[in-house]
């Protein structure tokens, strides 16, 4: 029965995604409905994950669909850190449609059920958790970059409705995007460190190589930011890097 | 308790009359204390209003007070005065707090002025409730609608644009090119939002010094601005120069030192001071006066549509206040009813007192108290609900009649005889 918690979560995320689009007409009721949709959906998903964790005698999100379920929860949780502030609410426009679609995929793939017990142990659980949290952070950073490029375009084109829609400030999007990347890199490195304790010769595969490329890419991005590559160029790299993240996630966590 | 409002505002009173009846914060507070009962005096440059909560002669007292303040303009005052009562007065205050009665709908300053009037007024339970709700309405309208967000002038639009780029302006530095009125107005808008005016550059240093002194900035001549372009976050240009003052090359050179920090340039001059192609540079956002006027026109139309939403919110809140005020009419009846049943209970307990042990007496007291509370709960709620409707007074009268409230009970009469 607790498996049905995915339905209110999915419904609330979907409602939030639609409400964020309506919020583009101007701040008001739609924005509040959106953020409450995110909050309630996230609580429902938290309860679902807690139920899955309690029902399993190990780490219940090893399948690709299970990982996707956990990943969505982490992305939405990270969004909620900023999204509750009216000024940053529209960040949800970049996050919630993706979250709703991915959760629907996880549900369709059976990742939201109370399935067979997996006895992978705490080390693997920590490794997967940290890696997914890191990738969730990078996803959020990509969302911020996309929003930066949109807002920058509106400012450059002198849009008449510029002040009618409450977008996050351009400079703040740039700064927060950089911080999200930095925190995500730390999480990824920690995740790899934890995973390395069980690493054996011959285990190295394409997924690990792709993860290494992602880390190198974002580390380079941080160095470039430090050297003055901020604003548009950093946003282009940040949103482009998401393609790499998607490939790595597909290879490491969501592939079969 | 009746609410009375008497006042004058920018709608009907010219500035000469408004300034006669205007009061400073201290004088307004002293007047509120002198008026007697519950009183609040709201006095701003656009209005002076007296809010009184009392049952007798409130309107006469308020009119007399304002007439005295108006002095020789007393005759003119009479034509401009408005007098509102109860729900209409509450609705008016809520509209004022929401900025809907202001010259520019949604302006934010009025909410602080209402708060100041409330805190310095002679308030009791009635006006306390009214003004708390008014402040709530003012905040609610600003949070739930976008009425207060859109700028209503070109300088304000420039400041709002800066917030779109930088968010909080605290600590952001501004470079002013030109020392005229337009530059000063834009600078003051930015300063009011936390920005710091770093330097004022002008063709003649003398004029730059004058404005720089007012804004606590450094004076410069226009030829020395190149290093400032690398530091400033916002550049406001409003010189009377016949041609361009800052070219694309100068800004491009400054960008190298800025390490990717965005730069907002606002050109308020006609003919323009800044090369329009600066907008093509990475990280530079250039707005001229036409761009800003287009934004203001758009946002003012937005304000009007937001004002309609705000009016609905205000009407809802006024309705709530009316319900609360009407419930006050049945409060004496409810209090009498509760007093009567408590009296009966006490009397019966006293009669039975000698037959009960101490613990039994406590138990009986507790049980009877609970029974009475449960018995009276629903009638109390129903009476308050009915009070908000037209037949509220009838309900109260029926209850008074049925329970003989206000009459001497036979038991009490017997006790008195013995």
The B263-267 sheet, strands edge to edge? B218-221, B196-202, B173-177, B234-237, B263-267, B284-288
- What confidence tier does A216 reach under pLDDT thresholds 50, 70, 90? very high
CB pairs under 8 A between A and B: 88
- Through-space distance between the first and last CA atoms of chain B, rounded to whole angstroms: 40
**pLDDT: which is higher, A10 or B103:** A10
Helix (H) or strand (E) holding B219: strand B218-221
ipTM associated with this complex: 0.77
B284: its two tokens: 């530079």
pLDDT score, position B408: 63
With an 8 Å Cβ cutoff, are B146 and A27 in contact?
yes
Low-confidence ranges of chain B (pLDDT < 70): 149-150, 388-393, 407-418
Looking at the annotation, which residues of B are catalytic?
A: 45
pLDDT of residue A250: 76
Establish how many alpha carbons lie within 13 A of residue B261's alpha carbon, considering only the half-sphere containing its beta carbon: 15
> To the nearest whole number, what is the mean pLDDT of chain A?
84
Do residues B158 and B133 touch, judged by C-beta distance below 8 A?
A: no
B32 CB contacts (<8 Å, ≥6 apart)?
A: B39, B40, B41, B120, B121, B122
Listing DSSP states for B333-376 in one string gives: HHHHHHHHHHHHHHHHHHHHGGGS-HHHHHHHHHHHHHHHHHHH
A233 to B294: CB separation less than 8 angstroms, yes or no: no
- pTM, two decimal places: 0.64
Closest CA to A31 of A23, A39, A21, A41: A23
- Pair of tokens at residue A2: 């607790």
Residue A40 CB contacts under 8 Å (≥ 6 apart), including other chains? A8, A12
Residues contacting A187, CB < 8 A, separation 6+: A130, A131, A133, A134, A137
pLDDT in tens, B334-365: 888 888 888 888 888 888 877 888 888 888 88
Shortest CB distance from B164 goes to which of A27, A155, A156?
Answer: A155
**Could you tell me which residues are beta bridge partners of residue B7?**
B49, B82
pLDDT, average across residues A153-177: 88
- pLDDT reported for residue A253: 62
Residue A217: which of A179, A249, A245 has the closest Cα? A245
For the beta carbon of residue B103, count every other beta carbon within 10 angstroms. Answer: 12
From the list B150, B166, B297, the residue facing A171 with the nearest CB is B166
B75: left (phi over 0), alpha (psi -120 to 50) or beta: alpha
CB–CB contact A26 B282 (8 Å): no
Q: Give how far Cα B313 sits from Cα of A23, A202, B141, B244, B266, Å.
A: 19, 68, 7, 49, 37
* pLDDT at site A201: 66
pLDDT of residue B410: 60
Distances, alpha carbon B136 to alpha carbons A177, B111, B129, in Å: 35, 10, 11
A222 min Cα distance to partner chain B (Å): 13
Q: Name residues whose C-beta falls within 8 Å of residue B250's C-beta, 6 or more positions apart in sequence.
A: B226, B229
């Amino acid at each position: 029965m607790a498996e049905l918690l995915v339905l209110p979560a999915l419904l609330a995320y979907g409602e939030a995604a639609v409400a964020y689009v309506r919020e583009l007409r101007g701040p008001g009721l739609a924005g509040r409905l959106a953020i409450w949709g995110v909050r309630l959906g996230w609580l429902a998903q938290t309860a679902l994950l807690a139920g899955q964790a309690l029902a399993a005698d190990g780490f219940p999100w090893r399948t690709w669909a299970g990982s996707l379920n956990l990943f969505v929860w982490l992305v939405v949780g990270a969004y909620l850190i900023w999204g509750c502030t009216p000024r940053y609410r529209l960040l949800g426009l970049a996050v919630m449609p993706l979250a709703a679609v991915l959760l629907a995929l996880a549900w369709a793939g059976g990742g939201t059920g109370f399935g067979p017990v997996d006895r992978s142990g705490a080390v693997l659980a920590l490794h997967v958790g940290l890696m997914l949290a890191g990738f969730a952070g990078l996803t959020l950073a990509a969302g911020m970059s996309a929003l930066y490029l949109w807002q920058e375009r509106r400012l450059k084109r002198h849009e008449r409705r510029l002040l009618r829609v409450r977008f996050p400030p351009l400079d703040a999007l740039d700064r927060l995007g950089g911080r999200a990347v930095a925190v995500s890199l730390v999480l990824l490195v920690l995740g790899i460190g934890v995973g390395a304790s069980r690493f054996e010769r011959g285990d190295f595969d394409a997924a690990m190589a792709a993860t290494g490329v992602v880390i190198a890419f974002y580390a380079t991005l941080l160095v470039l930011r430090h050297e003055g590559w901020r604003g548009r160029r950093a946003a282009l790299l940040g949103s482009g890097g998401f393609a790499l993240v998607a490939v790595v996630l597909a290879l490491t966590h969501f592939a079969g | 308790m009746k609410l009375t409002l008497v006042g004058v505002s920018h709608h009907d009173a010219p500035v000469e009359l408004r300034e006669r009846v205007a009061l400073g914060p201290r004088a307004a507070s002293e007047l509120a204390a002198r008026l007697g009962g519950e009183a609040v005096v709201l006095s701003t440059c656009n209005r002076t209003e007296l809010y009184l909560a009392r049952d007798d002669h409130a309107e006469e007292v308020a009119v007399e007070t304002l007439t005295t303040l108006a002095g020789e303009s007393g005759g003119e005052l009479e034509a401009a005065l408005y007098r509102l009562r109860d729900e209409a007065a509450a609705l008016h205050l809520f509209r004022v707090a929401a900025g809907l009665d202001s010259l520019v709908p949604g302006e934010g300053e009025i909410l602080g002025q209402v708060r100041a009037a409330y805190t310095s007024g002679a308030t009791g339970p009635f006006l306390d409730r009214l003004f708390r709700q008014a402040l709530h309405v003012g905040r609610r309208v600003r949070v739930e609608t976008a009425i207060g967000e859109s700028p209503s002038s070109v300088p304000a639009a420039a400041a709002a644009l800066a917030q779109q780029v930088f968010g909080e302006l605290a600590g952001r530095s501004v470079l002013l090119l030109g020392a005229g009125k337009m530059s000063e107005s834009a600078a003051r808008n930015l300063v009011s939002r936390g920005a710091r005016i770093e330097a004022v550059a002008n063709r003649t240093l003398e004029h730059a010094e004058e404005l720089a002194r007012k804004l606590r900035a450094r004076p410069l001549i226009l030829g020395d601005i190149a290093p400032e372009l690398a530091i400033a976050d916002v550049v406001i240009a409003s010189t009377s120069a016949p041609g361009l003052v800052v070219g694309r090359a100068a800004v491009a050179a400054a960008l190298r030192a800025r390490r990717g920090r965005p730069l907002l340039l606002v050109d308020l001059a006609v003919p323009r001071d800044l090369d329009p192609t600066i907008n093509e540079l990475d990280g530079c956002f250039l707005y001229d006066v036409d761009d800003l006027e287009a934004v203001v026109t758009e946002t003012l139309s937005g304000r009007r549509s937001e004002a309609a939403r705000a009016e609905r919110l205000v009407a809802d809140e006024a309705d709530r206040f009316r319900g609360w005020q009407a419930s006050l009419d049945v409060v004496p009846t409810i209090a009498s009813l509760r007093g009567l049943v408590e009296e009966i209970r006490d009397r019966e307990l006293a009669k039975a007192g000698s037959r009960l042990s101490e613990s039994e007496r406590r138990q009986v007291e507790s049980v009877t108290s609970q029974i009475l509370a449960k018995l009276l709960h629903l009638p109390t709620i129903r009476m308050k609900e009915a009070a908000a409707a037209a037949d509220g007074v009838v309900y109260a009268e029926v209850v008074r009649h049925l329970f003989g409230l206000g009459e001497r009970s036979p038991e009490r009469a017997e006790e008195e005889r013995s």
